[in-house]
Structures are given as C-alpha cells and as structure tokens.
Structure 1
Amino acid sequence: MSLVPVSDLLRKAEEGKYAVGAFNCNNMEIVQAIIAAAEAEKAPVIMQASQGAIKYAGIDYITAMARVAAEKASIPVALHLDHGTSFEQVMQCIRHGFSSVMIDGSKLPLEENIDLTNRVLAVARAVGVSVEAELGKIGGTEDDISVTDREALMTDPEEAKYFVEKTGVDSLAVAIGTAHGRYKGEPKLDFERLQKIRSLVNIPIVLHGSSGVPDDAIKTAIELGVRKVNIDTNIREAFVDKCREVLAKYPDEIDPRKVLGPAKEAAIEIIREKIRVFGSNGKA
C-alpha cells in the first residue's frame, strides 16, 4: 500500500487507546527492520527520518526506500520528518513524498512558533500531509540543566491549549521530562503535567526521547493520552552492539552482509518489543 499520513494512524490509536511507534531510519537495514517488525506484530508503523539521517543517506534514498517498503507492506506505513526546523526543509520533504512532517519551532518565542507552524499547515493540508509541532524543549541527556531550569523548559499546559487553538495542528510533541540520547539515570516523567495538557488539548500527544524510559512509564503516558512514541537510541544500540559482537567473534570477516544481517535481526527484536509495549500490535 502507499504511504499514509501519521494523522490517520493516530486517529485510530486515539479510538483504541494505544500508541503508534515512530522509529528512526538511517539506512536500508533499519528500514527493513522497521517493516519486518511491524509485519510480524501486525502493527501500523511510522518510519521517521531526522535531519541527520537525510544528510547521511540523502533525501532521495530515504524516500525511495520508504516508498518501496510501504508498497510491499501489508500494514499501514507513514514516512515522517522528525524535527524539521525550517519551512524550507519541511517543504523539501513534502515535495519528495513524505506523508507527514514535524515542524519544530520550540526554540522560538510562542507567537513565532505559531506563525511558523501555520505556514507549514497551509501547505501541508493542501496536499494531505499531516503536521506535528512541538512546545517546550526536549533536550539531550548530556545537557547540564538544573531542576529549576528543567521545569522552565517543560511544556506549559495553558500555552499548549493556546497553541493548539491558534494552529489546529494534528499532533503535539510535549516536554515532560524525556530527553534525546542515552540517559545517565532513570528519567522521571511529569505525569501530572501530561494529564493537565491532555485535559486541555484534544489532539494526540507525542512523546520524544523515549529510548531508556521504563516500560511502565511509557504505558502510563499512553494511558494519559500519548499516541505516538519516538524510538531511535534503542535501535542504534541494538544494531551497533550486534555489529561489535559479530566482529569480535569473527575479526577477519569482510562481508558486510554477515555483519549487518545479524544487526538487522537485533533491531527487529527491539522494535517488536516496543510495539508490544505501545499496544499497537494486532492493530493494523
């Protein structure tokens, strides 16, 4: 089947009270792993590409691989831009066939974020592409942030309500204590804040930086209204760890297929585990 907008998947997730996994793809093996895992679990799935992935693989390769994967799949597949930071980049992805985009204006003042999001929405809506925006700052795990500063970076529920009213965006990424990259300790999510946001905002909520968040915490977030959960670091860890393991056992191996093949299988397993945690298995 052809690529579908993320909004279609999240609408059904809202009805079923589960979340759809959004998994970052950087190369062919990870694209294949995402699809194989979703097929095995009979789950809808979101493949997403960051600016780094697009720079590494090239937008033509990313979209071509995703299109082929979706056409051959028996489950619904979306191709989503993760953390697009400029109008121009988002337009490039729409022109190349992405079915969903994220415009991340979270570093901008609120009104500028609203204006940028509305510019993207005006184009995306005209061509059937769904749009995710972000409010609050989801930092990296290496950021040296005090408790007071971290509080200031989290999404303000009243601002979230205002933002959604002024944009009508399809989904909203919120900052409730997660971070991108590897966690040094166990992340503490602000469920009270999430519950308040969801009571004021009647659209699907997106949780970024979810690798390393305990399964129970993810499940609680889903119960409170999260409908899209992003996973990248866990896939990288599984993939690269298996590569290291194979090369340590067979240091003279020069066939990349014998290294990357097992790495792909490791990625499939971690993605399948996440799909089951999100409750999207059997929902295709």
Structure 2
Amino acid sequence: MPLVRTAELMTAAAVRQGLAAFNVITLEHVEAVAAGAERAGRPAILQVSENAVKFHGNRLAPLAAAATAVARASSAPLALHLDHVESVELLRQAHAEGFGSVMFDASRLSYGDNVKATADAVRWGHERGIWVEAELGRVGGKEGEPPLDAHAPGVRTDPSEAAAYVADTGVDALAVAVGSSHAMTERTATLDHTLIAALHTAVPVPLVLHGSSGVPDEEIRAAVTAGMTKINVGTALNTAYTAAVRTHLTENPEGVDPRKYLTGARDAMAETVAGFLRLM
C-alpha cells in the first residue's frame, strides 16, 4: 500500500477515535508495527525520533528508507512521522526523506521562544505540505532531563494558553501534559480527563498524548472519549522486545544467531502494537 499521509489518518480519526503512533528504532520495530497493524486491521503511524536518528549515527535516510519500504509492502495504512525534533537541520531533512509529518519540540525553550521557533517550523513545513505537531506543557521522562512529577503544580497544559499557542504558531496538532510521562515501564499513570475535555473544547486541532506506554487501557479509552486523538507509544515496544530477547538468551545461553532471538522480539512487539490498536 502506498505510504499514507499523517494528516489523512488524523482526519479520519478525529471523531472520538484514537490513532496510535509507534516509535521505531530498528528494522524489527518497523516490521513489528506493520505486522501488528495488519493483525488489528487498523492504521498506524511509524515514528522516528531524533534520539533514534542519533543512535543511527545521525543518519536519517537509512531508517526512513526501511520504514517507507515496509509501509509500501504492508496491507495496513501506515504513515511516517519524524518525532521530537529539536534540531532545525534534522527538521529540514524530513521532506526529502518522505516524512508526511513532524513533531517539532521546542518545549525546553521559554514560552516566547517556543512560539517563535515553532511558528517558523510550521511555516517551513506547510510550504512543503508537511503536517506539524508541537508540545505545550511538560511531559516528563525525556532523556537528559531530571525526573518530573506529572502531577506537580505548573506541569499540566493550560487550556487558554494552549488555544493562544495554537493560534500563534499555526500547528496542526498539540501534544499536551495531562498526567502521562515518557519512558514509563509500568502502566500506572492516571490522566486528568476533565482537563483533556477542556483542552479538546479550547483547542481547534487534534490533541496528542505522549508517554502512552505508561497509561492503562481504561485510561486510554477514557482519554480518547474525552477528546484525545493521537496516542504515542514507544517504551512499551522496547519492553516487549527486551523481555523476549532476555528470555531467549536465558533459555539458550550458547546461542549466537541473532535471528533466533530477534524473531521472538519482533513477534512480541507486533502483539503489543496490535493490543494498543485494538483499544482504538
């Protein structure tokens, strides 16, 4: 199937339906997302983060090419998204490498600088038909940051500020802080569904939930009902991958063929993907 644009999938999911987006690091991640989407009969987004690009020697093209090839061979509708981009140089590689959307992350900057940098990214993206997501509020757990209590005062996204931010930047979607955190390995997060509903009313673009790996099924369902659209999942895939590899190597300590343990890792991630997609 041809690579689908993120904007197309988001439009289809906008009416009380969720759209899951999965961060991919290796070819096995990409294949697992495609397999899981096919099992669930649902569309999905393949996300490549700036950290994943750094892992691959700061080269975006190889993983982007692999993701595009897998998506085109899949029967599931799949889109390609460049995630948590702080580098303007990396942002400007997105169009050439076939990405239909980017998440430009200026959340570490002051509010005024965030607005300016994001508006510039949006202008650049829209000139090239690229859908742009941004973040307002503080979703903790990012690499290189100290631990952040998702319930601490001042962390959550304010609806009136969010409405002004969207108007001033022109973003196509907004990631908001409503109680989740990046890199959670246990699904124990409690979301503020009243706040999600208020944000949905105040903000005229789709809302994005980052850190969804740590959010229980019932909380995700309630979040979608309250107005959340894009559900980002990353750590849950890595947890499934690592657990499968660890089990195989424990049971087969003399094994050296990576295909033996990567097969199980890929299958475990695919089932995790299918599970999240069935929630939608």
> What is the number of equivalent residue pairs in this alignment?
276
For 1:59 and 1:152, the matched residues in 2 are separated by 35
Shifted more, 237-246 versus 105-114: the winner is 105-114
CA distance in structure 2 between the partners assigned to 1:147 and 1:222 by the alignment: 19
User: Match of 2:212?
Assistant: 210
Distance in 1 separating the partners of 2:35 and 2:249: 24
Structure 1 runs of 4+ aligned residues shifted over 3 Å read 141-148
User: What whole-Å deviation, never above 9, does each CA across 1:152-197 have from its counterpart, x for those lacking one?
Assistant: 1211111101011122211100001111112578222122221111
**Where does residue 272 of structure 2 map in the other structure?**
270
Aligned pairs for 1:234-249 within 5 A: 234-249=236-251
Distance in 1, Cα, partners of 2:153 & 2:199: 15
Establish whether residue 127 from structure 1 lines up as the match of residue 125 from structure 2: no
SS of match in other structure, 1:80: strand
Report the counterpart of residue 48 of structure 1 in structure 2. 47
Query: What aligned pairs does 1:1-284 form with structure 2 within 5 A after superposition?
Result: 1-15=1-15, 17-57=16-56, 58-140=59-141, 143-145=146-148, 150-182=152-184, 186-277=188-279, 279=280
Q: Is the 8 A contact 2:136 2:177 kept in 1?
A: yes
Q: Which has the higher helix share?
A: 1
Q: TM-score, normalised by structure 2?
A: 0.93
Q: Note the alpha carbon deviations across 1:209-268, whole angstroms, 9 max, x for none.
A: 011211111111100111110111111011110001111111111111011011101111
One-letter amino acid matched to 1:67: T
**Partners in 1 of 2:208 and 2:235 — Cα distance?**
17
CA contact (8 A) 1:239 1:263 kept: yes
Quickly say closer, same or farther: Cα 1:147–1:248, change in 2 above 3 A.
closer
Tell me how far apart the structure 2 counterparts of residues 177 and 198 of structure 1 sit (CA, whole Å).
15
Give the partner amino acid of 2:33.
Answer: I
Q: Are residues 200 and 61 of structure 1, via their aligned partners in 2, closer, same or farther at CA, if it must alter by over 3 Å?
A: same
Which runs of 5 or more structure 2 residues have no equivalent in the other structure? none
C-alpha displacement of 1:147: 7.8
- 8 Å CA contact 1:38–1:44 kept in 2: the answer is yes
What's the secondary structure of 1:187's corresponding residue?
coil
Q: 3-state DSSP class of the match of 2:154? A: helix
Distance 2:9 2:149 in 1: 37
- Judge conservation of contact 1:13–1:19 (CA < 8 Å) in 2: yes
Output the aligned Cα RMSD: 1.8
| Equivalent residues of 1:39, 1:74 under 8 A apart | yes
Name which structure has the greater RCO, CA cutoff 8 Å, separation 6+: 1
Q: Which amino acid aligns with 2:27?
A: M
CA contact (8 A) 2:141 2:148 kept: no
Q: Is the 8 A contact 2:185 2:239 kept in 1?
A: no
Give the percent of matched residue pairs that are identical in Structure 1 and Structure 2. 37
Contact kept? 2:9, 2:43, Cα under 8 Å: yes
In 1, Cα distance between equivalents of 2:186 and 2:264: 28
Looking at structure 2, the residues matched to 62 and 95 of structure 1 have their Cα atoms a distance apart, in angstroms, of: 13
Q: Which amino acid aligns with 1:136?
A: G
Secondary structure at 1:39 match in 2: helix
* 3-state DSSP of counterpart to 1:95: coil
Q: What one-letter code is carried by the residue in structure 1 that aligns with 2:54?
A: K
What secondary structure, in the 3-state scheme, does the structure 2 residue paired with 1:162 have? helix
User: For residues 234 and 148 of structure 2, what CA distance do their matches in structure 1 show?
Assistant: 22
Amino acid at match of 1:103: F
